[in-house]
Chain A
């Protein structure tokens, strides 16, 4: 058993590391945040509770010799963390950020050097995978510098990912950890970590839920929004938890809201004919973030002043003044991101220019409540009219949801839907300690879950949050000009649990040795009853295509005549939470199907 259990929140905008010691002595486990040493200014290293997920590619001669020295590396190739984020404001073309959003992207290969997108000619770009590796490496190096006898690679490490991450993105996260010198890491879902964080800070949590309850976790991070439903059940007198549904991958988060406030505030300067440059706008953005927190909270003042200091030596002469009003911000954020909508609301699919950045699939509709309505409809007890999941409890996570006005609006909307279904109001999962630290909750919860895995505490059962299929061409006569109709073979049933496997002996595939074989790969969050080996005859709206998966059988020299190998498929979920698909030959030889992260070509 390792001495420490470590939870890592590898976030879109910020990362954090929490740890707990094991074995746990008497009482509740003590989970602590590890401040990560990082450059905060040239030549200044400081440990901070958050590591900004920002990477800066320093140019030739850009920093004074020795200014980037870290305690464990005299000449780091990249700048990671606070200095990277701050210097990136001054020279955005060398800044890599939001790398995580690229890991789950069907339109670009995250192992290719893509970032920074707008780097000028001559700058060596890096891949989103490499950036993720660098954030993990920074945390490992900082940990090892202060724990020389218990290096991180020998500890039990859990890394959180959005519940909506596809299998390929989960595998990439694990690959990034391996590249950063970690041992085997466990991948866990962020909303579950948020739930464990609540358990961790609420010693009497069992008093608040009972069998039959349904807990809705809404986790709004900097760049993503995640919905998860956890059912409370009972077995042999013990409370059990089961994760029953997970929402779609939504690239929409607190950063979008801060940006909306900043654009709103910018208008008053442009009305006066003042154009803000990139650095001034960043200052405005930061102040709007703080103003938003104050104005959306309880006892909010009517307005907050905004001051943008002059950039030159004439500090006061060049200063711009403005303000943001409480009512404006409230209607902007509540009506823009959390509008009151009916339970049959559908998110718009039309892309909006304001939320777009080349390459990333930002959510087309910023209305979180519409996405939530769609999620609850899909997660309903059965398909058909009137099906709607009815949560009894709501757990909120993410810095945005510290604002009481947003929290209040979410309850108002959700309880409105429940009332129209004749269901009682959902209640908030309360916590006794008011110091609910939502910035670090995911990392803390991951560490706590690590303890639960080793036997201490309750564990959420869940398995894979989707069912998966491989495409099979129908044996219908081909019609010129029309694609061959596809059917889908269920290879992974919904909810397949960690450490279990499914064999599919009924269906044989012939693989040609020495040639890559590609399977089209599909998934569904709503088809929960397809059993392994069953065939979906018609691919409807409820099944979406992922990047293809492929396998390559290397030619064998000792048996050159073998050309075609009949195989069957097998799927399993590893103990570390990864989905794997295998081709198995009759003689027991096995080949793993790789998730292809290449750009998906339009069918």
Chain B
């Protein structure tokens, strides 16, 4: 993989714009993403403090009490979940190849 340490942030930044939109487009094609908690990041989010939250869905960070039961916290990351996944059929492709090498014929 390319070594980025020699490039300035604005060079990398310009590329990230393309990389990000391409990644987003291909993800959107195959996966329907939705947040785990549909709230506004940075605001307080209530939880049921009679039980510990489902660790699949919620990770508590910061000053977590010993019981692991909390009445809520500041939403730092909404989380992601896939509502649906539809991957293209592979056919007879060699699945070990991620990208073929390219040769331009002159």
Does B92 have its Cβ within 8 Å of any Cβ on chain A?
A: no
Tell me which residues across on chain A come within 8 A of B62, comparing CB atoms.
90-91, 278
Chain B 51-86 near chain A by CB (<8 Å), digits 1 or 0: 111011001111111111000000111101000000
Q: Cα distance A59–B67 when bound, in Å?
A: 7
Tell me which residues across on chain A come within 8 A of B68, comparing CB atoms.
59-62
Tell me which residues across on chain B come within 8 A of A64, comparing CB atoms.
55-56
Q: Cα distance A64–B64 when bound, in Å?
A: 17
With A61-B53, A64-B56: A312-B64 Cβ-Cβ less than 8 Å: no
Tell me which residues across on chain A come within 8 A of B106, comparing CB atoms.
none
The count of residues in chain B whose C-beta lies closer than 8 Å to any C-beta of chain A is 26
The count of residues in chain A whose C-beta lies closer than 8 Å to any C-beta of chain B is 26
Tell me which residues across on chain A come within 8 A of B56, comparing CB atoms.
64
Tell me which residues across on chain B come within 8 A of A93, comparing CB atoms.
63-64
Is the Cβ of A313 less than 8 Å from the Cβ of B77?
Answer: yes
Nearest CB of A to B59, in Å? 7
Is the Cβ of B65 less than 8 Å from the Cβ of A91?
Answer: no
With A311-B76, A311-B77: A122-B66 Cβ-Cβ less than 8 Å: yes
Nearest B residue to A91 by beta-carbon distance? Answer: B64
Nearest A residue to B59 by beta-carbon distance? Answer: A90
Nearest CB of A to B78, in Å? 5
Contact of B78 among A59, A90, A312 (CB under 8 A): A312
Tell me which residues across on chain A come within 8 A of B51, comparing CB atoms.
61
Q: Cα distance A62–B68 when bound, in Å?
A: 7
Does B22 have its Cβ within 8 Å of any Cβ on chain A?
A: no
Chain A 87-120 near chain B by CB (<8 Å), digits 1 or 0: 0001101100000000000000000000000011
Does A314 have its Cβ within 8 Å of any Cβ on chain B?
A: yes
Chain B 28-67 near chain A by CB (<8 Å), digits 1 or 0: 0000000100000110000000011101100111111111
With A62-B68, A122-B65: A312-B55 Cβ-Cβ less than 8 Å: no
| Count: A-B pairs, CB below 8 Å | 64
Is the Cβ of B61 less than 8 Å from the Cβ of A279?
Answer: yes
Q: Cα distance A160–B39 when bound, in Å?
A: 51
Does B3 have its Cβ within 8 Å of any Cβ on chain A?
A: no
Nearest CB of A to B72, in Å? 16
Is the Cβ of A59 less than 8 Å from the Cβ of B64?
Answer: yes
Does A123 have its Cβ within 8 Å of any Cβ on chain B?
A: yes
Does B94 have its Cβ within 8 Å of any Cβ on chain A?
A: no
Nearest B residue to A304 by beta-carbon distance? Answer: B5
Chain A 319-345 near chain B by CB (<8 Å), digits 1 or 0: 001000000000000000000000000
Does B2 have its Cβ within 8 Å of any Cβ on chain A?
A: no
Does B9 have its Cβ within 8 Å of any Cβ on chain A?
A: yes
Tell me which residues across on chain A come within 8 A of B78, comparing CB atoms.
312-313
Tell me which residues across on chain B come within 8 A of A122, comparing CB atoms.
65-67
Is the Cβ of A312 less than 8 Å from the Cβ of B65?
Answer: no
Does A299 have its Cβ within 8 Å of any Cβ on chain B?
A: no
Nearest CB of A to B21, in Å? 12
Nearest CB of B to A304, in Å? 9
Is the Cβ of A59 less than 8 Å from the Cβ of B61?
Answer: no
Identify 27 residue pairs between A and B in the complex whose beta-carbon atoms are under 8 Å apart, listed by A's number: A59-B52, A60-B67, A60-B68, A61-B53, A61-B55, A62-B52, A62-B60, A62-B64, A64-B56, A90-B59, A90-B61, A119-B66, A122-B65, A122-B66, A123-B66, A278-B62, A305-B9, A307-B9, A311-B76, A311-B77, A312-B75, A312-B76, A313-B78, A314-B41, A316-B16, A316-B20, A321-B9
- A90-B62, A311-B76, A316-B16 provided; 13 other pairs, C-beta below 8 A? A59-B66, A61-B52, A61-B68, A91-B60, A91-B62, A120-B66, A122-B65, A278-B62, A305-B9, A312-B41, A312-B77, A313-B77, A321-B9
